Amino acid sequence: MVPYPPPDEVGEILITAAEIEQRVAELGREIAHDCADQVPLLVGILKGSVLFAADLMRAIGGPVEIDFMAVSSYGDATESSGVVRIVKDLDEPVAGRHVILVEDIIDSGLTMTYLLEHINAQGPASVRTCSLLAREGQQAPEVQLDYLGFEIPPAFVIGYGLDVAQRYRNLPFIAVYTGE
User: What predicted TM-score, i.e. pTM, was given to this entire model?
Assistant: 0.89
Taking only the tens place, the pLDDT of each residue in 71-120 is: 986 555 445 556 788 899 899 999 999 999 999 999 888 889 889 999 99
**Catalytic residue numbers?**
107
Pairing of strands 98-106, 41-46: parallel
Burial class of 45 by CB neighbour count within 10 A (0 to 12, 13 to 18, 19+): buried
Determine the average pLDDT of the residues in 152-173.
Answer: 93
pLDDT at 27: 98
Instruction: Please tell me the CATH code under which domain 10-177 is placed.
Output: 3.40.50.2020
